[in-house]
Structure 1
């Protein structure tokens, strides 16, 4: 029996063993025509659209066995007449779709979401990833507005549709939020819920619904990481200076003297010596001031030597300054030798 003859006897239309990654698929089998078909089987979690000349003429949304030869299906008489009358120029397109919920679909931002940090006032590039679940709610709208007549539509294609529309609500939320980049992870559920609710109407018009949307983790682009690193370094320095009783002005002066001593621009020995002496004197003043701030003043005749002149205490403070990175190893050794010479 020829393939052409078997085509004329096609009696059952069925979506058999659809792949897990398939969302919409046009029914076909070796070019079979369906003008003699008599049965339609819609399996569990499936639906079926009948399309003629680009227009959806009928929808089967309930699973079961349908007898297409009878006239009890409202739109079927017209389609049956089309199939019996024409063979090639006016074939009917049959599209099966997955009606069941699609769960735990992975997503990730293809490029960073940019916004301005409201606390530190610098641009942030945020990446995010997670999963979502969705379901086709209006197959005709989905077929018309999303699939646009394609013969095959995989689940992964819906990721692009969702991400292209949900990243803007995320950006809007972060731009209007009062928390900084350090609090992003703490507010992930709040950001996800806002984004899902804000985009609900858009997806409803496209024929599907987000059942849930989760943000599992975030990351920052390299420029943002660099800015965060600088802030972390400055915060650490500020904390170290606070513990040592060193003002930011003193720290800036010390850094300026250190740069002069290095004399990166040329070999002026006099300037180097002057900067070195000024740096040593400033280190001594910083340690003396810190000692005076950390120890209560006791103006009594029984205390001939102020606490700030205690060499042991100076050595302890010098070590803390070295550990905090306020001075380098050479400066530490030099000042340490000066203090030891007082014994």
Structure 2
């Protein structure tokens, strides 16, 4: 039992009446993974006159739509399949055609594993599998996931939710290993909690691997493509090899931290901010201004409040003054260090023209003279000026000096004696 491609002329008009059974896919929505073929009666002539349920008569016609995989089943075993859109005839005596379409060669291997090798049995069915990417599958973590962030140097706990998409890449393997034998319509949601549980387990593993690779936790929402690759690697054996499904994409809608992780992140961020002397000094001045403002609004009298504040500030004020002095000193040191670094860079890049002008660019700002080449420099054939033994632009080797010779020790020389071993030039 098998199928052959139907002639183009059999699609319309009177030739269509010769088909008693015309089989197309049933309801196939965006999240449908499998549906049983539906028979449509098309006349009473021809060799196909039985009309018995689950019996596909010789000469019946099957229509395969875009992104569909048709599987022909005889008594529970696969006898043929087709992944190319078009119209096909069923012949009980023909060998399997296996129209592979754009599917990988592994589908043929799966067919050889599950095919039916005998004569047609008592019942035949046609199933259609959706080859489109199935999108919008929601997920959410019930428990917080552990994530070690190198930036914060702490174990953080996050919850995330979003959606992912899958695609059936080996329909025959999926049909034999996942779909129920008596199923007539299977939606991805009907596959149960097993897939969601496995997905969340793989998600935790993938996120953990991203932590090992040094990805900051705040960057996870922007790493959807990378996360998809991690997930595909983790689920390769369980889903791709065993069930014929691939993870296409993973989209994280939001990430939330538990209270302890929030406290750690806030403490780390505040510490990073307070390491800047400018921010520290602003904090000190703001604290003093807040104290003066509170004293002025004291209902017991501003004079008494200022007096009390002055008495209290005798001890604390010394600390504030010392902090301000320390901040000012550090800001001055940072400024001096920045100025020294800029001066050093300028000094390293500066050169003096023959007219006496000091410059930093490639041409003199006074007379327009070109910056002289560095001592010991050479010009490559590509035009780049270099000082090392190889060109920084094309990688060409520095040419040997005119009149040079190579010693037996491998050293290139220009004088009469080797500069490395002292051998005399031969």
TM class, shorter-chain normalised?
0.5 to 0.7
**CA deviation after TM superposition for structure 1 residue 176, in Å:** 1.1
Give the aligned partner of residue 222 of structure 1.
258
- For residues 108-127 of structure 1, the aligned pairs below 5 Å read 108-111=139-142, 112-118=144-150, 119-127=152-160
Distance 2:139 2:255 in 1: 11
**In terms of mean alpha carbon deviation, does 62-71 or 27-36 score higher?**
27-36
Q: Which has the higher contact order (CA 8 A, sep 6+)?
A: 1
Could you say which residue in structure 2 is the equivalent of 1:48? 70
With over 3 angstroms needed to count, the CA separation of the structure-2 counterparts of 1:181 and 1:279, relative to structure 1, is farther
Counterparts in 2 of 1:1-343, with a 5 A limit?
11-16=21-26, 18-27=28-37, 33-35=53-55, 37-38=57-58, 39-44=60-65, 45-74=67-96, 78=118, 80=120, 82-83=121-122, 91-99=123-131, 101-102=132-133, 104-111=135-142, 112-118=144-150, 119-132=152-165, 134-149=166-181, 150-156=183-189, 160=196, 163-164=199-200, 166-185=202-221, 187-205=223-241, 206-210=243-247, 212-223=248-259, 224-232=261-269, 243-244=280-281, 280-293=313-326
The structure number with the bigger radius of gyration is 2
Distance in 2 of aligned mates of 1:18 and 1:182: 39
1:142: Cα distance to partner?
0.6
8 A contact 2:227–2:250 mirrored in 1: no
- CA-CA distance at 1:233 after TM superposition: 5.0
- Structure 2 vs 1, CA of residues 56 and 277 (structure 1 numbering), >3 Å: closer, same or farther? farther
Change in 2 beyond 3 A, CA 1:21/1:246? closer
Contact 2:34/2:186 (CA < 8 Å) preserved in 1?
yes
| 8 Å Cα contact 1:113-1:167 kept in structure 2 | no
For the residues of structure 2 that align with 1:226 and 1:295, how far apart are their CA atoms?
Answer: 30
Residue 167 of structure 1 deviates from its aligned partner by 0.8
> How far off is 1:102 after superposition?
1.6
Equivalent position SS for 1:18: coil
Structure 2 unaligned residues grouped into runs of 5+: 1-18, 41-50, 97-114, 288-308, 330-426
CA contact (8 A) 1:107 1:130 kept: yes
SS in 2 for 1:33: coil
Q: What displacement does 1:141 show?
A: 0.7
What secondary structure sits across from 2:154 in the alignment?
coil
**Two-structure CA RMSD over aligned residues (Å):** 4.2
Structure 2 CA distance for aligned equivalents of residues 97 and 295 of structure 1: 72
**Quick one: structure 1 residues 235 and 293, their matched pair in 2 at CA, closer, same or farther if it must change by over 3 Å?**
closer
C-alpha distance after superposition, 1:35-82 (max 9, x if no partner): 2634131322222223345433432333333332452244899564x2
| 2:391 alignment partner in structure 1 | none
TM-score of the two chains, using structure 2 as the length reference: 0.47
